């Protein structure tokens, strides 16, 4: 084992440096994700008028649905922040509690989104109806996939937290997850603005 050759303090020092690199790398990954969503936004903005004689956003979007899901996701961003605060207070139970709340809210958000998609498809507005709807489904859907992956990631982290407790390594993982979750919230705000609010104007 590693610790036999060096003292635990030295090993901890190396681990900390290693983990801080990973947060820096994760931040860069998030920026590449910004570009990814930016490209999808560009596609959407260019194609939003190309409805091919089919329904427009104004006809399709249900105000109630996207308003509720917005507040759910905003709240989950806040609760993920509370989880990080608990982590820094070294309170494992509180940390896990707020992470669970966060993924439950994330799940509720996803449920509403999937229901919205199914309703649209049922009404005959699917990905192949028009260029506008292709762009809509892919832009909003990509965000939804990110939320889904985030939930699975968080479940994995909760299991690891129960096994290892709050260590340098799990701390870095939770920090990165928190960044990811806030990032998804920010992306959603722009989705809300550009897709939904401008759509129903």
Site for other proteins in 113-142 (CB under 8 A): 127-132, 134-135, 137-138
Is 169 a binder of other proteins (CB under 8 A)? yes
Nearest distance, CB of residue 123 and other proteins, angstroms: 17
Is 162 a binder of other proteins (CB under 8 A)? no
For residue 195, which of 30, 72, 71, 62 has the smallest C-alpha distance? 62
Sign of the CA dihedral 88, 92, 97, 99? positive
- Asked whether 15 and 169 are in contact (CB, 8 A), the reply is yes
Stretch 40-59: interaction string toward other proteins, x if CB under 8 A: xxxx-xxx-xxxx-------
3-state helix, strand, coil in the chain (%, to 5): 85, 0, 15
Number of residues in contact with other proteins under rule CB under 8 A: 84
Stretch 87-106: interaction string toward other proteins, x if CB under 8 A: -x------------------
User: Which residues inside 69-88 make contact with other proteins, applying CB under 8 A?
Assistant: 70-71, 74-75, 77-78, 81-82, 84-85, 88
Distance CA 111, CA 100 (A): 16
Distance CA 143, CA 36 (A): 11
């Amino acid at each position: 084992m590693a610790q036999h050759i060096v003292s635990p303090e030295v090993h901890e020092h190396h681990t900390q440096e290693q983990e801080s690199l990973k947060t820096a790398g994760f931040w860069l990954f998030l920026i590449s994700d910004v570009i990814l969503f930016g490209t999808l936004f560009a596609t959407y903005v260019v194609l939003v008028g190309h409805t091919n004689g089919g329904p427009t956003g104004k006809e399709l979007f249900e105000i109630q649905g996207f308003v509720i899901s917005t507040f759910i996701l905003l709240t989950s961003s806040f609760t993920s922040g509370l989880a990080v605060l608990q982590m820094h207070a070294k309170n494992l139970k509180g940390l896990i509690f707020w992470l669970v709340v966060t993924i439950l809210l994330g799940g509720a958000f996803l449920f509403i989104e999937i229901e919205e998609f199914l309703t649209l498809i049922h009404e005959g507005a699917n990905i192949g109806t028009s260029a506008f709807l292709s762009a809509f489904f892919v832009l909003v859907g990509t965000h939804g996939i990110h939320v889904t992956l985030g939930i699975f990631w968080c479940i994995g982290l909760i299991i690891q937290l129960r096994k290892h407790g709050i260590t340098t390594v799990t701390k870095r993982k939770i920090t990165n997850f928190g960044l990811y979750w806030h990032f998804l919230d920010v992306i959603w705000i722009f989705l809300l603005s550009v897709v939904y609010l401008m759509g129903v104007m």
